[in-house]
Amino acid sequence: MTEPSELAALIADTLAVFESLRRQGVDVLPVGALAGLGAAPPESARSPEAGAPPPRPQLLHVPAPAPAQVSAPVHVSSPVHVPAPARFQDPSPVRAPSPPVQAAPPPAPVPASADGAAGLFGSKWSRVAESPDVAIAALRREISACTACGRCETRRQALPGEGPARPLLMIVTDPPDAEADASGQVLHGDAATMLERMLLNVVRVDRREVQILPVVRCAGPGPLQASEVAACRPYLDRQVTLARPRAVLVLGEQARIALGLERHGAWGEVNGVPALSTFHPRWLLANPGDKKATLGHLQELARRVG
């Protein structure tokens, strides 16, 4: 098969020969072999008789090319406007826009009770489950501002409690004394040191895993009254519910009686949490003979907590 480049060269050579003959005055060409344009006709195209005269050549008429038309020059009197190229059109089908994402509806609010309170502990505690630290901090501020009983008139400050929001163990002690009222610490001095040693060596609980608070939050001039216990008991129950300790250790005779526990060393409960009472560290410092009984109580507590 002839390559395109060879065919183009052959056509160009043929046109050059025709142009040369035309200039020489030849306007007809015999059909046959021309120099440079191929070989002679094949044997099959020749006459079978040797003596026969050759056939009359056929004439090929080559018309002369028409003279080129020269157009008059174009005079441009105004700027030529060149139209802008057509804007590219994307052949792909146009997709309909996606519908907007609908946000999830907000959670339904906590229904209010008949008395207008909402949630577990009233309107102030309807969001208590969000964070125990936030709830405990809010409850402690409420306790610090409490004026529910007469002890608020003689106290320096209320003691809402110390320790983590979710402790392993909760300790409830006798009412604060004058030194606790001045310092703001539920236990202080040698009593606090003794308690830390008992917790670490017997119960195997670090002090940082313990929440400690007094059964009533204010120091008072006289013995503990039932009305004062009743005024502070809701705070204690709410703190136990928020803290969720494994057990409650009750220290001191006044705290044991206020919480309704039968005797030291006997198990009871505080707001549904197992509770065990024993002697207060201040009592043990003055009455070391009760340390042996206290050791047995704490060993029983360690089995429950551990």
The mean pLDDT of the chain is 77
State residue 12 phi and psi, 5-degree precision.
Answer: -65, -40
Instruction: Supply the pLDDT for residue 19.
Output: 76
Contact between 179 and 261 under an 8 Å Cβ cutoff? The reply is no
Task: Say which residue, 265 or 136, is predicted with more confidence.
Answer: 265
If you search the block for the tokens 């917790």, which residue do you land on?
199
Short-list 264, 244, 242, 243, CA closest to 253: 264
- Name the pLDDT band for 289 (thresholds 50, 70, 90): very high
- Name the pLDDT band for 126 (thresholds 50, 70, 90): very low
Instruction: Supply the pLDDT for residue 33.
Output: 45
DSSP structure class, residue 37: S
Exposed, middle or buried: residue 220 (CB in 10 Å: 0-12, 13-18, 19+)?
A: buried
User: The domain 130-305: what is its CATH number?
Assistant: 3.40.470.10
Contact between 220 and 203 under an 8 Å Cβ cutoff? The reply is no
- Residue-range domain boundaries for the chain: 130-305
Residue 147: count other Cβ atoms within 10 Å of its Cβ. Answer: 11
31-60: per-residue pLDDT in tens?
Answer: 544 444 444 444 544 444 444 555 554 544
Cα 71 → chain centroid = 78
75-122: per-residue pLDDT in tens?
Answer: 544 555 545 555 545 555 555 555 555 555 554 544 444 444 444 445
Instruction: Supply the pLDDT for residue 67.
Output: 53
The mean-pLDDT minimum among 69-73, 152-156, 252-256 falls in 69-73
Q: At what angle do helices 226-243 and 132-144 cross, to 10 degrees?
A: 160
- Name the pLDDT band for 136 (thresholds 50, 70, 90): confident
Sign, CA torsion 253/256/262/264? negative
155-202: per-residue pLDDT in tens?
Answer: 999 999 999 999 999 999 999 999 999 999 999 999 999 999 999 999
